[in-house]
Amino acid sequence: MHTTRPRITPRSAAAVPPRWRREVARVLISQERIARRVRQLAAAIGRDHQGREMVVVALLNGTVLFLADLIRHLALPLRLDFIGVSSYGSGTESGELVFTKELRLNVRGRDVLLVDDILDTGRTLKRVLAKLRRLRPRRIRTCVLLDKKARRVEPVEADYVGFEIPDLFVVGYGLDFAERYRNLPFVGVLHPHVYQEASKPAPPRGRPAGLPQQLQRPRGQRRRLLGGSATRSYTRT
Ligand code: 5GP
Ligand code: MG
């Protein structure tokens, strides 16, 4: 729990692999650095939960890569379950969440480790924590790969944080833009042209659709991309 939290600055020396150079402007956190940090987090979680059986509750979909790597380094008895949470369609206010998958395991009296990809405004974790607390677990601890402190709206902090990152929209290692880029093995920042292309209306038939509806009509928080003038809203998927 009391590990130091590496703070990532907008500059990064790691080269973008040639395969991704057209779309990815830079690597913010390399694959190797993520792997090292995930092992440290697993060690800290292991120390804090010795002798106990945990229920790991992960939020879909952004946690998939992080979760898989984290739990393979957890040498503890654990059970795994998922909660699906998503922003509502374009007609609702930003921050309004719907649950797309409910927890199946009984967590009453259990130690729960809640895992999410990134802690941003804190609205998601706040909502999910309130929901979990109603199920009367013995204790809930939270673990996020990334923490964007500058964007916090709700007073939520995670117990285990992989990296503190600056206020940039990031993709990779599970995190998406319009459902793409989850499979990047690193965390990176996209070129502005990727967002511009995705926001073009009505792609020809047979081609993948660009931005989801809620991104085409910005209603939610506007955010800075790459520190430039381009702004986009986005919602959790
Ligand atoms: P919060 O409710 O804390 O504002 O947002 C948490 C969710 O928003 C994350 O789980 C993630 O789905 C999405 N999110 C926030 N920041 C980013 C980002 O920089 N990149 C991506 N891909 N998703 C983000
Ligand atoms: Mg997402």
- Residue 116 Cβ < 6 Å to ligand 1: yes
Ligand 1 pocket test, pick from 116, 120, 231 with the greatest ligand atom count within 8 Å of Cβ, gives 120
Which of 119, 117, 115 shows the shortest CA–CA distance to 155? Answer: 119
CA of 113 to the centre of ligand 2 (A): 19
Sort 151 into a burial class: Cβ within 10 Å, 0-12 / 13-18 / 19+: middle
Tell me the average pLDDT across 205-215: 46
The proportion of the chain whose per-residue pLDDT surpasses 90, expressed as a percent, equals: 71
Which of 118, 82, 103, 64 shows the shortest CA–CA distance to 235? Answer: 118
Task: Tell me which ligand sits closest to the C-alpha of residue 146.
Answer: 1
- Beta-strand runs (E) in the chain: 24-29, 54-60, 78-87, 97-101, 111-119, 139-147, 160-164, 187-190, 222-224, 231-233
The two structure tokens encoding residue 65 = 């890569």
User: For the chain, first and last CA: distance in Å?
Assistant: 28
Domain extents for the chain? Answer: 18-233
Q: Is 178 helix (H, G, I), strand (E, B) or coil?
A: coil
| pLDDT of amino acid 166 | 96
For ligand 1, atom 11, name the residue with the nearest CA.
236
CA of 76 to the centre of ligand 1 (A): 29
**Strand pairing report for 24-29 and 54-60:** unpaired
The ligand 1 atom nearest the CA atom of 59: 10
The two structure tokens encoding residue 26 = 């830079």
The ligand 1 atom nearest the CA atom of 169: 19
Which of 54, 202, 77, 50 shows the shortest CA–CA distance to 138? Answer: 54
pLDDT tens digit sequence for 88-124: 644 434 557 899 999 999 999 999 999 999 999 999 9
- Catalytic one of 111, 116, 117, 120: 120
- Residue 175 Cβ < 6 Å to ligand 1: yes
Cβ partners under 8 Å of residue 75, min gap 6: 46
- Assess contact for 188 and 24: CB atoms under 8 A: yes
| pLDDT of amino acid 96 | 79
pLDDT tens digit sequence for 37-93: 999 999 999 999 999 999 999 999 999 999 999 999 999 999 999 999 987 644 434
Known catalytic residue: 120?
A: yes
With b for 16 or more beta-carbon neighbours within 10 A and e for fewer, the 71-101 pattern comes to beebebebeebbbebbbeeeeeebbebeeee
* Domain 18-233, CATH class in plain words: alpha beta
On the question of pLDDT at 232 being above 50, the answer is no
